[in-house]
Amino acid sequence: SERFTVAIDGPAASGKGTISRAVAARLGFAHLDTGLLYRAVGARMLEGQEPVEAARSLDPSELDEERLRTGPVAQAASQVAALPEVRQALTDFQRAFARRAGGAVLDGRDIGTVICPEAEAKLFVTASPECRAERRYKELSAKGYDVTEDSVLEDVRARDARDSERAVAPMRPAEDAVEIDTTTLSIEEAIETALAVIEARR
């Protein structure tokens, strides 16, 4: 059966998660949100565990927990994500997932550059920081979290800076990635644009 890897990178709340889920569902591919790996390690650090130990003993069944979706966990995730040994410990799992039979979509920050440089299709999804903060704010307040739009924008900017300036696997588009700016696109338009890019490579 088919082996085809779609790498989707981009900053927080750019729409990459929504696009990845929709594309995977449409193509019948498996989907891995790699941010959850770093969030799970970040959550364990907040509980007092040493991050490298946490990364080495991570169990994929920890990944669908709603507690990983909070601001403090996101910040902790981007701190542990700057540690080379944490990234190293999570690499094999991501690469094995990418090459599974039947196709895979992985979304994150370094999928097209470091984890799957051989991916058949690469996308880099962006949107303005204000637009991303507004989306994340709506999402969090709809879930009942007590946040302000300003605090969410600050969180998004802090993570952008840390993720793009770190020495190891910084967030950046792969040379052969197609960039999609979702600032003025509807969700449907963003998904159709992504699918067209992928279909052109199959």
Residue 158 identity: A
What does the radius of gyration of the chain's CA atoms come to, in whole angstroms? 16
Q: How many CA atoms lie within 13 A of 60 on its CB side?
A: 9
Least separation, in Å, of the C-beta of 162 and ligand C5P?
6
| Tokens 């990983």 belong to residue | 68
Contact set for ligand C5P, span 154-193 (CB under 6 A): 159, 163
Told to check if 132 binds ligand C5P by CB under 6 A, we report no
Q: Binding string to ligand C5P for residues 82 to 121, with x set by CB under 6 A, is what?
A: --------------------------xxxx----------
Task: Compose the 23-52 pattern: x for residues touching ligand C5P by CB under 6 A, - for all others.
Answer: -----------xx--xx-------------
List beta partners, residue 104: 5, 30
CA distance 24 to 129: 26
Nearest distance, CB of residue 5 and ligand C5P, angstroms: 14
> Is 13 annotated as belonging to a binding site?
yes
Contact in structure between 107 and 13 (CB atoms under 8 Å): no
Query: 35: annotated binding-site residue?
Result: no
* Alpha helix stretches (DSSP H) within the chain: 16-27, 35-46, 51-56, 71-80, 84-98, 129-142, 149-165, 187-199
Q: Which of 12, 23, 58, 116 binds ligand C5P (CB under 6 A)?
A: 12
Contact positions vs ligand C5P (CB under 6 A): 12, 34-35, 38-39, 74, 77-78, 81, 108-111, 159, 163
Which residues participate in the annotated binding site? 10-18
